Amino acid sequence: MSIIYVDLIDACHMKCPTCVRGTRLLPNSSRRIPMAQFERIVAKAKHEGYENVGLYNWTEPFLNARIADYIRVVKSLDLNCEVSTTLSFRGRTALIEESLRAGLNRLIVSVSGFTQELHQINHRGGNLAMVKANLEHMAQLMAREPIKTQILLRFLRFDHNQGEEPLVADYARQLGFAFEPLQGVGMVDNPISNYAHQEGYLERLRDYSPARLQMHDGEVCPLIMETVAVDANGMVSLCCANPNYPALEIGPYLELTREEIMIRRYAHPLCPSCAFPRRAATPEDHKHLLGALSVRLKATKEIGSLGESPGDRSGISTDLGSAGMLDGLKGRLKRWLAFS
Ligand SMILES: C[S@@+](CC[C@H](N)C(=O)[O-])C[C@H]1O[C@@H](n2cnc3c(N)ncnc32)[C@H](O)[C@@H]1O
Ligand code: SF4
Ligand code: SF4
């Protein structure tokens, strides 16, 4: 399943300690992605073969009052559309209804408890009564109208709330919604702001070592092959598992080819030391990677023949165009060719 995540807005009202947005490592701003820019992003994504559009990454999408219009743009291009939300707000009933009627395919509702007491430990600032009122309103609406949205109640599981998982599962069943437990990442009593500052990422970039500790030939990171994350400024970030810090920006989505985005991400100096689980590369992955590497090598050769340093045009701080990195790319290309 290939998916492009696009943040419609640059804010969240919650303060989850396990989230870079919740702890304001990513500070809220008033930025909203302009509709015309969004339309071009989705059209490009469709052209590049993405089948799904997620209107979220590190934000709360329902804070954008035009969410239903964005959903309509996605649906007009015949793509699947999904949203992840806390539903922890009041006064947005009409917006929720309009979003479902606009043809939203999937709505993920994240909770971390069945009682307010436990829910608010991770969903700090959350109000479970409002969440339940919105969920129950949707169930009633869907009983009256032919709305096809799949509603998925996602339970973020931590040590402190495991006992409430069956209660949330039962509740989802009663409402006719799907249920999914998901292991919560992070620690509720040790906020992510204690250890995931942009400075830490910059240090990892400065300490870059070519040793590929976590990368093995024939394996790929599924996030690079199947997903791309674009923030409310239209910038591609390294991946949806990491914050969209300026230090991890790949470049403007609309100005880069799919191949350039893939190669900048695949060769990113943070990945070799990242422990995110890889999977075996498929023939389709081979095709995409070889295509991207070939385009980059050809472009670099052409730039080189003009007498410029390839790094001058890369536009990013990770120095992908330097001679050392180019050798690395050539080496990888050879390995991939031998492998496929
Ligand atoms: C960062 S959230 C943004 C969307 C929305 N604000 C929400 O919380 O659903 C993106 C996804 O991450 C998931 N998520 C949030 N906190 C998490 C955690 N501590 N561990 C694992 N997944 C988490 C949510 O369920 C959501 O689908
Ligand atoms: S996990 Fe979602 S709800 Fe919680 S702070 Fe992050 S973006 Fe907001
Ligand atoms: S940083 Fe980790 S999760 Fe992100 S793309 Fe690289 S390997 Fe994948």
pLDDT tens for 59-99 read 999 999 999 999 999 999 999 999 999 999 999 999 999 99
Residue 302 has a pLDDT of 64
Tell me the CA distances in angstroms from 141 to 67, 129, 134, one per residue in order.
Answer: 19, 18, 10
For the CA of 242, the closest atom of ligand 3 is 4
Residue 272 has a pLDDT of 85
Check whether 213 has a pLDDT greater than 80: no
Protein residue whose Cα sits closest to atom 6 of ligand 3: 271
Q: Where are the alpha helices (DSSP H) in the chain?
A: 35-47, 67-76, 93-101, 116-122, 128-144, 165-175, 198-206, 222-226, 258-266, 283-305, 323-339
CA dist., res. 185 & res. 157, Å (int)? 9
Check whether 297 has a pLDDT greater than 90: no
Q: Is 12 exposed, middle or buried (0-12, 13-18, 19+ CB in 10 A)?
A: buried
Question: In testing the pocket of ligand 3, which one of 223, 261, 318 has its CB within 8 Å of the most ligand atoms?
Answer: 223
pLDDT tens figures, 17-64: 999 999 999 999 999 999 999 999 999 999 999 999 999 999 999 999
Residue 312 has a pLDDT of 34
Q: Which domains does the chain have, with CATH numbers?
A: 3-196 (3.20.20.70), 208-225+258-339 (no CATH)
Question: pLDDT band for position 330 (50/70/90)?
Answer: low
Ligand 1 neighbour 114 (Cβ under 6 A):
no
Residue 338 has a pLDDT of 52
Residue 297: count other Cβ atoms within 10 Å of its Cβ.
Answer: 15
Residue 316 has a pLDDT of 30
Protein residue whose Cα sits closest to atom 5 of ligand 2: 22
Residue 298 has a pLDDT of 75
pLDDT tens figures, 117-153: 999 999 999 999 999 999 999 999 999 999 999 999 9
